[in-house]
Structures are given as C-alpha cells and as structure tokens.
Amino acid sequence: MAGIFGKLKDKLSKTRQGLVDKIEQVFSGATKIDEDLYEELEEILIQADVGVSTALEMVEKLRQLAKERKVSDPLDLHKVMKELITEKLGEKSPLNLSESKPTVYLIVGVNGVGKTTTIGKLAKYLQEGGKHVMLAAGDTFRAAAIEQLEVWGERAGAEVIKQTEGADPAAVVYDALKAAKARAIDFLLIDTAGRLHNKVNLMKELAKIKRVVEREIPDAPHEVLLVLDATTGQNAIQQVKLFQETVNVTGIILTKLDGTAKGGVILGIQGETRVPVKLIGIGESIDDLKPFEPQEFAEALFV
C-alpha cells in the first residue's frame, strides 16, 4: 500500500501545486481570517477547475465551520479545508458486478480522452484473480480503432470481437454478447465511437447499443462508464451532463491525472454531477489504472 500511495503522491504533484499549494499560500500569507481571504480562496478553486458553484459552496462551508469552531488563525484553516476536500471527494464506489456471467461494461466518451487505451488497461485490471475478459470493438467509425483495440487486447490477453470498419456497431455488440454468454466470460467491455462533432447520431447510436445490451441481458449493462480526460478541466463536467442525458452514466474513469494541474476538476465532477469517479488513470503503463480511493487521494494531495 505504501508503494501505491507513494506513486499516487508523485503522480498528483501537478494538481497539488495547482490547488493545495496555492490554498496553503493563501492561509500562510494572511494575517487574519476575513473576506479578502475567502475571495482569494474562491479564485484559486475556480482557477483549479473545481467549478464556480462547487468553489462557492466549499468556501461558504469553510466560512461556517471556521465560525462554529471559533478558528482565528488562518493557518488553522488548512485542516478544515482538507476535511472539506475529503468530504467532497465522496465515498469509495466500487464497480458493479453481475451475479451471473458476463458482467457487461459499456464504455463511452468523446474522441481523444484515451477511451480505447483505458479499455485495455481496465481489461488487465479485471483479469487479476484469473477472470476472463472479452472486448467488443463497437467503434467501427474511427479509422484504426479496431486495430488499436486489438493491440490492447493482445497486451491484456483479452479476446476481441470485431467486424469490418463501417459495420453496424450494434451488430458487433450483439455478436459479442452472444459469444460472452456462450463461453461463460466474466467481463465484456464494449468500446464505442467517440465522435462528438456528430452529437445527435452518436447519441442515437449509443442508445441503440444500450437497447441491444438490455434486450440480450436484461440487467445489463452493469456499468456505463464515461472516460474523461482530466486535462480538459471544466469541459469534463459538461461531458458528464451530455452523456448522462442519453445513456445514464453510472461511473466515471478519470484519465491523465498525472499530467495536469487541473485535477481539481474531480471535486467539480463529484459536486455538480453526483456521478461517482470509480477509476483513475495515473500514467501510461498498462498497470496505471487504479480504483479511486477518495481518502487516499486526499492524503496524497495534502502531504
């Protein structure tokens, strides 16, 4: 655990610099707790992509707690702020599992978030303990998407069900569901196209895929996982709302946390959408996809 924590601490260094270090500078640079301090704090939270409404809510809560606890030294606000951030990160939310095989995860997201790469990493993660994972190449639109998924499938040791480029994605998913049931596969991960520029058609296609899954396995998909790129900041929150309207997102995989100072967006996601972050990507290695542990994440930020 110490090794994992040390790695997380290292990977979150940019977010720590962009959020926690600046918060601490406000507290250490102030001589008293006043409105100037709270306004400066609001500004820092907003700049760190926490989101306006979440930033205002957190500062208001800080103001209340400082008053209730009779805090007079700005430095003592550090501990209170850590409490608030930990609270806002929410409770741990493990992936849902089906009692019967297969457990089906529908993976969605816009182009460029690392969706296919994330599916490969998720396959590797799920295989721990000898589980069998199958991948469905439901992104038949993007050139080389099928080949890319096959490369990751090979790395993870997971079979890929595919058709030709341009095929009906729902037909690919139907084939994969049949194969997964016939072979008693533990997990089926469904890749989908991420072309946001054609939003209406994309969303209709996703809804169709979801209907096919529901028809073949009534209690599936067991998760609809939205892959978000942490470097996009506030735009990530808009993406949650967009996909939520069509496919009822049940969990979020937040990638590229290691390469951005905008990791504060995780607070905005939890605060504004109420969709739990279930997994985080903290590097390019196949083993760099981890379950999101809110308490551990907060500790890694505040060390």
Q: Determine phi and psi for 217, rounding to 5 degrees.
A: -135, 95
> What is the CATH number for 173?
3.40.50.300
Domain count, the chain: 2
φ, ψ (nearest 5 deg) of residue 278: -105, -30
- Same domain? 292 vs 217: yes
Residues 27, 160 within the same domain: no
Dist CA 208 CA 185 (whole Å): 23
Task: Count CA within 13 A, CB hemisphere, residue 126.
Answer: 29
Q: Are residues 74 and 128 in the same domain?
A: no
Six-digit token string for 224: 């609809």
Asked whether residue 81 falls in the same domain as residue 107, the answer is no
Whether residue 75 is found in the same domain as residue 143: no
What is the phi/psi pair of residue 145, to 5°?
-65, -40
Q: How many CB atoms sit inside 10 A of residue 17's CB?
A: 12
Burial 239-260 (b: 16+ CB within 10 A, else e): bbebbbebbebbbbbbbbbbbb
For residues 53 and 117, membership in a common domain is answered with: no
State which amino acid sits at residue 50.
V
Judgement on whether residues 113 and 158 belong to the same structural domain of the protein: yes
Judge whether 108 and 243 are in contact, CB under 8 Å: yes
Residue 158 lies in a domain: yes
pLDDT at residue 69, as a whole number: 95
In this structure, what token pair is assigned to residue 147? 């080949």
Same domain, yes or no: 80 and 115: no
Q: Which residue has the tokens 């038949």?
A: 140
Together in a domain, 73 and 128: no
The DSSP symbol for 167 reads S
Residues spanned by the domain of 277: 103-302
Decide which of 61, 88, 115 is a domain's last residue. 88
pTM: 0.92
Residue 140 three-state SS: coil
Three state DSSP letters for 194-238: CCHHHHHHHHHHHHHHHHHHHHHCCCCCCEEEEEEEHHHCCHHHH
User: For residue 233, is it within any domain?
Assistant: yes
Do 297 and 163 share a domain, yes or no?
A: yes
Is residue 204 in some structural domain? Answer: yes
Q: Clarify whether residues 250 and 161 are in a common domain.
A: yes
CATH number of the domain encompassing residue 76: 1.20.120.140
Tell me the three state secondary structure of residue 278. Answer: strand
**pLDDT, position 1:** 43
Residues 115 and 211 in one domain: yes
Residue that is last in its domain, among 56, 88, 120: 88
For residue 284, being part of any structural domain is answered with yes
Residue closest to 290 by CA, chosen among 125, 139, 156, 141: 125
Q: Per residue of the chain (303 residues), what is the pLDDT tens digit?
A: 445 556 788 888 888 888 889 999 999 999 999 999 999 999 999 988 888 999 999 999 999 999 999 999 999 999 999 999 999 998 999 999 999 999 999 999 998 888 999 999 999 999 987 899 999 999 998 878 999 999 999 999 999 999 998 999 999 999 999 999 999 999 999 999 886 645 677 788 899 999 999 999 999 999 999 999 988 888 888 899 889 888 899 999 999 888 777 788 899 898 888 899 999 998 888 888 999 999 998 888 887
Domain boundary among 39, 54, 88: 88
- In this structure, is residue 95 part of a structural domain? no
What integer pLDDT is reported at residue 241 of this predicted model?
A: 87
**SS3 category, 86:** helix
